[in-house]
Chain A
Amino acid sequence: MKKALLFILIASLVLTSGFAQGTKEQAKGEKEIVILVKNMGNGFFDAVYRGSQEAAGQIGGMKTVYMGPPQPTAEGQIEIIETLIAQRVDGIAISANDADALIPVAKKAMAAGIKVISFDSGINVGGRIVDLVPSNEELIGRQQIQLAAELTGHKGDIAVLSASAQATNQNSWISWMKEEIKDPKYANMRLVEVVYGDDLPDKSYREANSLMQKYPNLKAIICPTTVGLLATAQAVKDAGKTGVVEVTGLGLPSEMKGYILDGTCRQMALWNPVDLGYTSTYILNGLIDGSVKGNVGDTFPAGRMGSVKVEANGMIVMSTPFVFNKDNIEEYAAIF
């Protein structure tokens, strides 16, 4: 038994040291910021970090570090923030796995003098100074229905394949999709069901298959998540339903290039994650300098993005999603 316990102890030590290790090799006077993402290994966040590096290079005297838990959980992010408080970094930009669970630890970080903002998937008021929204949630949701309508000629059954049932941003987009489809111009379209693939390829693939099985008149599947979109495109292609069941949603150009070129997913949308990381970094820079407080009505300079303005509840809206299709996919696939 002793042997077994020792074994587990060693195993857990190996694991925690592998994942939670942060390095602190900051030169005096240099600003250090952390881009804390939902989980490691997500192409979208890799692009966010690239934008942050670009901005840090332009600002100068700033070091940006990329971190995230191995699994997309709030617990993992809380652990990392605790470590960052101990390391006394200057700023953290977070894409949150839970809008409320991170508030206490984020408050602790702010009390320790760290500037905390959220981006992409926000933290509720009280847990961050400002929240950078990639686009207006209303515009994203409405645009998804518009994209599906264009593909299906404004008629037929459509379904939504989302991430997890409690994902903050997906749920808000879906509620706007439900608003948009009430418009009389979609009278011949019906949103039949919302299913959840939990951002796992195998589960999403299976759910996409059941949708096709369950609704013989299905004309389109909307996937407002990159993992779900990839798996759905593969499932539709495997079922031989390319052109019968249209696929659209929010996807990464490099991952979706093949499916866009072969016609499985003829168009999809996404804001530019590079710009998101870039703008977050400029916002943190303003806050760390103390040149902008982040109060409602304040304006942050944001390099090539011009400037962004703080609105009610500390929200900052960046831009409207960009539509990718076979004409522009090659160009963007090379970037992210």
Chain B
Amino acid sequence: MKEKKFSQDTVVNIIFYVIAILMILIVIYPLWFVIIASFSNPADVANGKVWLWPKVIDTRGYGKLFEQKQIWRSYLNTIIYTVVGTLIALVVNISAGYAMSRKDLPGRKFINVFYVIPMFVSGGLIPTYLVVKNFGLLDTFWVMVVPFAVSTYNIIVARTFFETSLPESLWEAAQIDGCSTIRFFVGFAVPLSKAVIAVVGLWTAVGLWNSWFNALIYLQNENLIPLQLLLRRILIANESLLGAATGTMAQELRQLSDMMKYGSIVVSTLPIMMLYPFLQKYFNQGVMIGAVKG
């Protein structure tokens, strides 16, 4: 009897590991393929000759990609939007989270409702567009970093963190010493909450790096568009940045555009992928903090 249980468990275990290894392959192979394809001869890729390693190393795709001024411009834009947007979002959301964690905040219930309603109700696309337009923010740098910096979800995460990890006695003691709320927030609460700042900051940064919808709606100026929107032209609209050509030139140009597709995917995704394994701890922590309150 005992023998049988043991063997059943072993079979289950083996099945689990086989599934896990299959999943690892299914996830990793497409990503690996993009990388090798970006360094391969485009004809080899198109004809299915590249599977595990480039047949010949060919960096023309990257060469052509980096020749494009728009790439550099939009890459820089994305970096600026991400850095500035993350800083603004941190200031706005962490300070709100702290204030809402304080039990002596008068009108706490009402304020809670005020922050939660927008999670479920929104004015919708056009009314929001009209408001942004009336504020004169269309086609400005600021529309990408200020109007939608508030994240109720992140505020709740920060509030939960302060409620559970910042001892109330600390504020009471500081208060007796004549410390004001803002001085306490800047001098004690913030330095003691690096974990939650890292979590909220990382989420915001990834979101900003990957976002394009607001740019699509609110930006027309070529000099302001972020990387993701430029990628839309390369990857989705299949627009060749290299111009038009005919005959055999056209064939080559098409293949070169394909290379640029792989290259642009690598270039745009690499920063996040490189950072991710090191920061995984913080990402996971964030999910846990968020999960506490549901």
- Do the two shown chains form a genuine complex with each other? no
A residues near B (Cβ < 8 Å) are none
B residues near A (Cβ < 8 Å) are none
